[in-house]
Each structure stands twice: as structure tokens, then as C-alpha cells.
Structure 1
């Protein structure tokens, strides 16, 4: 697949099916957002991406307003959610780069999230362009999405 073909195949809205992170050393698989994560990723024709990933089992706040959440509620909500958006580009037929303009995780702002990407019919797989660390263990993470 060429870069142009991959870019065209990405355009649209995708719903998260699974998020698995495999230990490089032991092969152990963890699911950072639980067994049934939820999320959306949207690639626009104009070259922007928006990513939302969350645990589907997050506990609702005791109150009804976000700004009234107790510190432990706010912390738990943030730990079970990641969101970022910005421009994207496709340098080759196997890679997509998300240039982060805004993010729940402030350390990602003005950085890039580089992913391997493959589209097979209605399935998108985004994998590691480099290894990540989850719980002090180097892992290869793969997010599988379905076109909606």
C-alpha cells in the first residue's frame, strides 16, 4: 500500500474493538483499558485526527457536575481515559503520525504519536512504531478498530 492509499483508507470514523499490550520479554498480554474498552478515532479528509479511548467500566461521579468531582473521582476518571487531537500525516504505506495539538496527557502536546497502520476491509490496526512502557514493562501495544 502506498502512503496515498493508506491515507485514503484511514479517512472516516472507527470504533475501538480491542487494545492489547504484549510484554516484549514474556509475551504476557495486558489490556490497559480493561476487557471491553471503548473509543473512537476520526480521520478527516482535511488531515486532522481525533482520538478518544476509555475504560467502559468507569465509575460515575457522586455529583452531576464535572467541576464538583472529588479528587479521587477526577484521578480515576483521568486514569481510565486518553484523548488527543491534531493534524496527521502518512509518511509511507505502513505508518501514520499523529501530531498532537491538544491532549488529556499534557506531556504529549506538541509531540508526535507515531503508529504502524494497516487497513484490511473494515478493520484498522494501529501498532507500535516503537515500544511503550506500561507498568514498568516494555510492551508492544496494538489497537484494533472497526469502521462505523
Structure 2
């Protein structure tokens, strides 16, 4: 039996490319060409997206809240994250992300649609609102790993 669209997207995806198209039609890489990240869709209807630029400057002092405002601003500038529930439109192969947690406060409580194009072990996610194109590949299964 063929898997549903929802069943096909469930799992963990590793970032391959994150690009946007600016107003003059040129493609650019908001987090650099070597950005990395993970996207997760769980069976129970939750998702999490984490994207970051490589080589973000370290804080002078160790600790979650020990960076200066300038250090924290630079770190945040190279990072994008949000999570929450998601809904699936099987017919249109679209996912709806509910922004329950977001690095960008303006997005809290909002919903964003994500059009998905599946191609084997890769998916491309597009967003008309931001003219972004994000390519992910299915991450290896590490469920059997243990210490």
C-alpha cells in the first residue's frame, strides 16, 4: 500500500540548501551556502525546524545567558528556529506550521503554509510569503544507537 503524504514526511530531515529570492529576482543564501539544520515531523503532530549558519562567533564566557548583547545578537542573526503543531493537506501536499515557539517573536501564534515537493529521499519546501526554497534530505535512522 502506498504511503500517504503525511506518512512520507514524518521523520527527521537534514538541511542541504536554504535559499531565498530577493526583490530583483536574485538568489541568495541567508545563512550562507554551508548552512546546516534539522527539520522534524513527529507522528503525534508536532514539528521543529532548526537552521544555522556555520562558524557563528562563540561567546567570551561559557553559559547559555553569559554572552554580551552584541554576542547574543550575532548568534541569533545566524540562527532560525521554531516549533509547534502541524497540519497536513494531503491533496495539495502542503503542511501548515503553527508557530508555538519561535525565535522571531512576531511569528508566535501564527500559522505558515509550506508547499512540499517530494523527490525520493529529498524534499523541497517553498514558502510564497518569503520566496524561500529549502532542500532537505532524510536523515539517517539513529534509533538503534545507545551508550
Scaled to the shorter chain, the TM-score interval is: 0.7 to 0.9
**Matched residue, 1:8:** 7
Which residue matches 1:126? Answer: 125
Give the corresponding residue for 1:72: 70
**Structure 1 residues 1-148: aligned runs within 5 Å:** 5-23=4-22, 25-91=23-89, 92-128=91-127, 130-132=128-130, 140-148=131-139
Unaligned runs of 5+ in 2: 140-147
Q: TM-score under structure 2 normalisation? A: 0.87
What displacement does 1:81 show?
0.7
Distance 1:68 1:59 in 2: 14
Cα distance in structure 1, aligned partners of 2:52 and 2:18? 10
Q: Which structure 1 residue ranges, 5 or more long, are not aligned? A: 133-139
User: 2:104, 2:12 → 1: CA distance?
Assistant: 22
Shift of 1:26: 3.0
Mapped partners of 1:146, 1:77: distance in 2 = 25
Q: TM-score normalized by structure 1?
A: 0.86
Instruction: Tell me if the contact between 1:12 and 1:42 (Cα under 8 Å) persists in the aligned partners.
Output: yes
Structure with the bigger percentage of strand:
1
Residues 26-79 of structure 1: CA deviation (Å, up to 9, x unaligned): 321110011101110000011110110110121111111121101110001111
Give the Cα–Cα distance (whole angstroms) in 2 for the partners of residues 62 and 96 of structure 1.
40
Aligned Cα root-mean-square deviation (Å): 1.3
* Alpha carbons 1:50, 1:84 under 8 Å: kept: yes
- Give the count of matched residue pairs: 136
